[in-house]
């Protein structure tokens, strides 16, 4: 079979999935570009009457959506950095050092993931209230990184375990101290794993709703998902044109992030350092 025919066949086979995946995005795009009165017409059309950007203007100017995006970004980046700062050393210790109760600890990490954050929300609220952190972005950064850290440790641990110990040992013999071998040899090699973990943490934090809703009471502190949710229920009507514009914008960072790590997700790095 020729290469061209093969790829046409692949595309045909994949097209149902493609349609399912793209459908929500097209709806989102189409609705976001329509005017308010155009949405609930009897004769539905995919194409808007005119290329209308007013929804976005209204979103950013009247509803202060930009503020929510900045909040979300601050929280997601903060939570990602904080959870990596703790998870990398933890995962390193779990794979490379003799830790008493290693396997029990690892299983415990997995168990914490079985509890939905909503169950803990009252406890979390009271705890942060006690520390006076309600309405501070810091509280959500801490809560998010605590909650997503278990997953990060779990994921990094399995990635770290694939890196041959020989490489660090060789570095020690070459004269590197433990920390220097970690930074010069180990970290560069596990970078793909760290990047993938960082992305997952970022996306999880970006999309998280319940904790952000509870811990941030002030409108100026709201995150993007929370503000989008408010668009559906605060008024007597549901403002679909705004909601779709907002979700479109909110999904952009996630899409960019996933597109940028594709290479790591697909390829993995072939090492070739040990036989």
Partner 1 sequence: MASIDLVGVSKQFGALSILDDVNISIGDREFVVLVGPSGCGKSTLLRMIAGLEPISDGTISIDGAIVNHLGPQKRDLAMVFQTYALYPHMTTAQNIGFPLKLRGSSPEQIERSVARVASTLHLEALLDRQPRALSGGQRQRVAMGRAMVREPRAFLFDEPLSNLDAKLRHHMRIELRQLHKSLGATSIYVTHDQIEAMTMADRIVVMNRGKVEQIGTPLELFDRPANTFVAGFLGSPTINFAKARLSAGSKDVTFEDGIYPLALNGASDIAAQDVIAGVRPQHIEIVATDVAPLKGTVVLVEHTGCETNVILDVGNSEWTVQTLSRHRLNQGEQVGLKFDPAHLHLFSASSQERILW
Member of 105, 167, 210, 254 binding partner 1 (CB under 8 A): 167
User: CB of 27: closest distance to partner 1 in angstroms?
Assistant: 44
x-or-dash string of contact with partner 1, 105-144, rule CB under 8 A = ----------------------------------------
24 binds partner 1 (CB under 8 A): no
Give the 3-state secondary structure of the chain.
CCHHHHHHHHHHHHHHHHHHHHHHHHHHHHHHCCCHHHCCCCCCCCCCCCCCCHHHHHHHHCCCHHHHHHHHHHHHHHHHHHHHHHHHHHHHHHHHCCCCCHHHHHHHHHHHCCCCHHHHHHHHHHHHHHCCCCCCHHHHHHHHHHHHHHHHHHHHHHHHCCCCHHHHHHHHHCCCCHHHHHHHHHHHHHHHHHHHHHHHHHHHHHHCCHHHHHHCCCHHHCCHHHHHHHHHHCCCCCCHHHHHHHHHHHHHHHHHHHHHHHHHHHHCCCCCCCC
| 89 vs 273 by CB, closer to partner 1 | 273
User: CB of 192: closest distance to partner 1 in angstroms?
Assistant: 11
| 50 vs 166 by CB, closer to partner 1 | 166
x-or-dash string of contact with partner 1, 172-211, rule CB under 8 A = xxxxxx--x----x--xx----------------------
User: CB of 96: closest distance to partner 1 in angstroms?
Assistant: 13
Judged by the rule CB under 8 A, the positions of this chain that interact with partner 1 are 164, 166-167, 169-177, 180, 185, 188-189, 269-275
């Amino acid at each position: 079979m020729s290469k061209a025919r093969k790829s046409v066949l692949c595309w045909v086979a994949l097209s149902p999935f493609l349609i399912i995946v793209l459908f929500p995005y097209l709806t989102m795009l189409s609705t976001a570009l329509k005017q308010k009165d155009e949405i609930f017409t009897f004769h539905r059309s995919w194409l808007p009457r005119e290329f209308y950007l007013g929804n976005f203007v209204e979103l950013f100017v009247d509803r202060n959506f930009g503020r929510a995006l900045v909040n979300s970004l601050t929280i997601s980046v903060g939570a990602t950095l904080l959870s990596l700062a703790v998870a990398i050393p933890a995962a390193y210790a779990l794979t490379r050092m003799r830790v008493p109760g290693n396997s029990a600890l690892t299983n415990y990490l997995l168990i914490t993931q079985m509890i939905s954050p909503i169950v803990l929300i009252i406890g979390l609220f009271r705890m942060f209230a006690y520390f006076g952190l309600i309405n501070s972005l810091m509280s959500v950064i801490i809560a998010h990184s605590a909650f997503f850290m278990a997953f990060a440790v779990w994921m990094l641990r399995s990635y770290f375990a694939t890196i041959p110990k020989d490489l660090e040992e060789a570095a020690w013999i070459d004269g590197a101290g433990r920390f220097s071998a970690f930074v010069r040899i180990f970290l560069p090699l596990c970078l793909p794993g760290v990047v993938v973990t960082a992305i997952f943490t970022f996306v999880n934090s970006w999309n998280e709703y319940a904790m952000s809703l509870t811990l941030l009471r002030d409108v100026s502190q709201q995150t993007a998902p929370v503000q989008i949710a408010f668009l559906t229920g605060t008024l007597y009507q549901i403002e679909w044109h705004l909601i779709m514009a907002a979700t479109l914008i909110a999904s952009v960072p996630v899409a960019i992030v996933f597109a940028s790590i594709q290479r790591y997700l697909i390829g993995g790095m072939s090492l070739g350092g040990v036989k």
